[in-house]
Amino acid sequence: MRLGVLDVGSNTVHLLVVDAHPGARPLPAHSHKAELRLAQLLDGNGAIGPDGVEKLVGVVQGALQAAEDKGVEDLVPFATSAVREASNADDVLSRVQAETGVELQVLTGAEEARLTFLAARRWFGWSAGKLLVLDIGGGSLEIAYGIDEEPDAAVSLPLGAGRLTAGWLPGDPPSADDIRALRRHVRAEIARTVGEFSRFGAPDHVVATSKTFKQLARIAGAARSAEGLYVQRELKRDSLETWVPRLAAMSTAQRSALPGVSEGRANQLVAGALVAEAAMDLLEVESVEVCPWALREGVILRRLDHMGSA
C-alpha cells in the first residue's frame, strides 16, 4: 500500500510517502516539505500565535493535497515538541482538525525517542548489539539505549537546535558570553540524565540521526548525500570539537556556504553543534555513525507492525 506520514515538527512540516507492506523495507515515493519553524513562533506565554496557527493550517492543507495527488491510502499525522509544549496546544490541535480534518497525534518525548530507536535498530540490525541513539530536532534532544527494538532507557530534553537558538543566541554571529551561557545550560541538562544510560554499560554502536548531525558530519568530511544512503558516514568528537568554535565565529551567511548546510538551517547549527558536542562528551562517545532513518521511518515501521499483526 501507499502510506504517508505527516510530521509536524519544530522546524518543518514534512510529508513522507512510501510504498510499503509488512515485512518489507519501506520504499520512499515522495517527499513534501514546508519550513514553518514553529519552535520560533511561540509568544512570551509559550503559545503559538494566530499567524503561526494560520500558517500551520495552510501547510497541513497543502500536505493533504500532495498526499491525495500521490495516491496515499493511509495517512499517519503526528506532531512533536513544538506543538506538544505550546501553552495553547489543545486549541491549535482543535483548529487544525476543524479546518483540515486532520487529527494530529501528539507524541511524547519518550515516544519520539523510542520510535527513532526502532528505526535505527531496523536499519543497523541485531548485529549492531547494544545501541545508543542520539537525535537533535528543532525542539528537543532524544537519547535512547538498548539491545532490543524497545530501548531500555529513553529520554527527551528541551535542547532542540531551533529552541536554543531562539532563546539563547540572538546575535549573528552569537557573542562569546551567549555561547558560554548556552554551553553551561546544555551540559547541565544532559549531565542529569547520564546515569540513566551509564548503568547499562558501554554501547556496542552509537548512532546519530537528524538533519543537525547529518550537516555536522558533512562539514567534517563525511560523504555527500548524493553518494547514496548506504555510504557509511561518521562524525568524530575530536573533529566536532574543532568545528564548534569555528562555527560560533561565523555569521549565518558564512555557515550556509559550508558543504551540506542548508540556508534555512544555518542559523541553528551552532546550537546544534553545542548539543552534539556535549552529548558525545558527557556520554563518553568518541564517534557516531549517521543513520538515514529516524522518527518518520519509526512511525512507518510501527504502523506496518500493527498492520501485520492485525
Grid coordinates 548506504 are at which residue? 230
**pTM of the entire predicted model:** 0.95
Phi, psi dihedral angles at 270 (to 5 degrees): -65, -50
**pLDDT band for position 303 (50/70/90)?**
very high
Instruction: Give me the mean pLDDT over the 50-60 stretch.
Output: 94
How much is the pLDDT for 310? 59
- Residue 127 has a CB neighbour count (10 Å cut-off) of 7
pLDDT digits (tens, 9 = 90+) for 244-282: 999 999 999 999 999 999 988 999 999 999 999 999 999
Quickly list DSSP for 185-219.
HHHHHHHTTHHHHHTT---SEEEEESHHHHHHHHH
pLDDT digits (tens, 9 = 90+) for 67-117: 999 999 999 999 999 999 999 999 999 999 999 999 999 999 999 999 999
- Residue 27 has a CB neighbour count (10 Å cut-off) of 9
Contact 128, 121 (CB under 8 A): yes
Contact 131, 109 (CB under 8 A): no
